[in-house]
Amino acid sequence: MTTQKAIKIGNNLFVGISILGLTSVSLLSLFNPQATMDLVRVSLTNNDAISSIRGIYGGVGLTIVISLGYLLIHRAIVAVQFLTLFWFSYALSRLITILVNGPLGGFGSQWIIIESILFMLGATLLIFNRNLTYKQR
């Protein structure tokens, strides 16, 4: 297998795995916002709270998923760039919480690791993609 093909497969796997994860949270949030918040032990006590979770994690999440699907087909590297920033932002937000508010619980601790790994994977793919581009010149 050529290096170019391996990098393309890596890009597709990275974006595909991200799409699957984001789709699952989006659909859960659309159909059962409380189930999403149960993951972090938060009770949604009014319709505004329910609609906010449904809108942000459900609607906006699906918009991101649809956009990533389009980019995967037409501009996979842009999807990788977006997701690298996306996962970095999630991990950074959790790090800020640790610094400002103290240690995370089990859910947050697990996810800062996952988000950091996904960020590092994306950054690695971007480096490989960049090196491949330079070699092709």
pLDDT at position 137 is 46
- pLDDT tens per residue across span 56-103: 999 999 999 999 999 999 999 999 999 999 999 999 999 999 999 999
**Average of pLDDT values for 92-116?**
97
Domain boundaries, the chain: 3-136
Reported as a pLDDT band with limits 50, 70 and 90, residue 1 is: low
CA torsion 125-130-131-135 (nearest 10°) is 140
115 pLDDT above the threshold of 50: yes
Q: What is the pTM of this model?
A: 0.91
Reported as a pLDDT band with limits 50, 70 and 90, residue 131 is: confident
